[in-house]
Amino acid sequence: MKNKTNYIFQEKEVFIMTEKEVIDLMRSSKSLKQWNANCDKVKNAHGGFYPPFWFSTIVQSGFAAEVISKFVDLA
């Protein structure tokens, strides 16, 4: 098991996901509904916010557009 860092946010233990874990989770999305659910998982793991690397790694890099372009439920 990898070494994990847990933090307490508003008296609730929060599991911080690594950048690789976030990428792997988001890449596993097979539909827009699943993508959105995975976004919620990432935010929940980071105290209700996206992690600091989210914009550069997921959005700005084109990763989100690449993954979402493969969904068939965008209509």
* Per-residue pLDDT reduced to its tens digit, 10-67: 555 556 899 999 999 999 999 999 999 999 999 999 999 999 999 999 999 999 999 9
| Helix (H) or strand (E) segment spanning residue 12 | strand 12-15
Three-state secondary-structure class, residue 11: coil
Could you tell me the residue ranges of all domains in the chain?
A: 6-68
Q: Which two tokens stand for residue 41?
A: 């998982």
Look at residue 6 and tell me whether its pLDDT is greater than 80: no
Look at residue 71 and tell me whether its pLDDT is greater than 80: yes
* Residue 48: closest CA among 38, 37, 40, 56: 40
42, 47, 48, 50: CA torsion to nearest 10: -50
What pLDDT does 73 receive? 74
